[in-house]
Structure 1
């Protein structure tokens, strides 16, 4: 009974405050990326659409305009993503409304977009579709480096558009993580 009460009071408040909007929210609810990733994807300002360079333990790597690490997926083909559904929830693609902006240290000629097949444009660099990792909760984190998920490995991207597959340049030696998630 207590569970019913906790659910019904907020629902009743939503109906009273939101009118019919609450009636449409429950039927199509899906699991999605964390709010920090969603807000970056939904903004059309240059900050969210910018690819920049940041120096860290893996050397100079690509990050988005908010400083979040960008990854490539070894299963992708040139300018074609092979990460959809659950994969795209765990590894949200960097998408833009129009085109990506090149920040300092990023070769504008290597920056482009590819159609994801759902009307969204995914940012590519040197032909690699770019992703964030949902478990990187703040700028500078590289928790996705070396993970084996959804049929291939994931790597941070260097300024030449290549996968960073070696040990960090500064500090300890992270152990590649092997996860069989997704299948």
Structure 2
């Protein structure tokens, strides 16, 4: 359901100019390096295929989008 956001050959390009790039890091996983923001590991919802899709927001009252400041983002419309 939720997949880790991995840094690697396919790469993840940070497009936000609001993001403090010093807050971006990674942790080691068997599959490779998982990106973190302010120490929080980043995941994506498998049904969200395009930027801006938020089908996974609030699933189980546990999974939420993250804002550029590393805090829980408000739900997108």
| TM-score above 0.5, yes or no | yes
**Rg: which structure is higher?**
1
1:138 to 47, 50, 67: 50
Deviation at 1:143, TM superposition (A): 0.7
1:93 and 2:4 matched:
yes
Determine the C-alpha separation between the residues in 1 that align with 2:31 and 2:3.
15
Give the number of the structure with larger relative contact order, counting CA–CA contacts within 8 Å between residues 6 or more apart: 2
Change in CA separation of 1:141 and 1:107 when aligned onto 2, cut-off 3 Å: same
Which structure 1 segments of 5+ residues have no match?
A: 1-89, 172-183
Q: Could you say what the CA RMSD is over the residues aligned between the two structures, in angstroms?
A: 2.4
TM-score, normalising length: structure 2: 0.79
- 1:40-119 superposed matches below 5 A: 90-97=1-8, 102-103=14-15, 104-116=17-29, 118-119=30-31
Whose helix fraction is larger, Structure 1's or Structure 2's?
Answer: 1
Determine the C-alpha separation between the residues in 2 that align with 1:100 and 1:113.
12
What number of residue pairs does the alignment pair up? 75
Whose strand fraction is larger, Structure 1's or Structure 2's?
Answer: 2
Determine the C-alpha separation between the residues in 2 that align with 1:100 and 1:141.
17
TM-score, normalising length: structure 1: 0.36
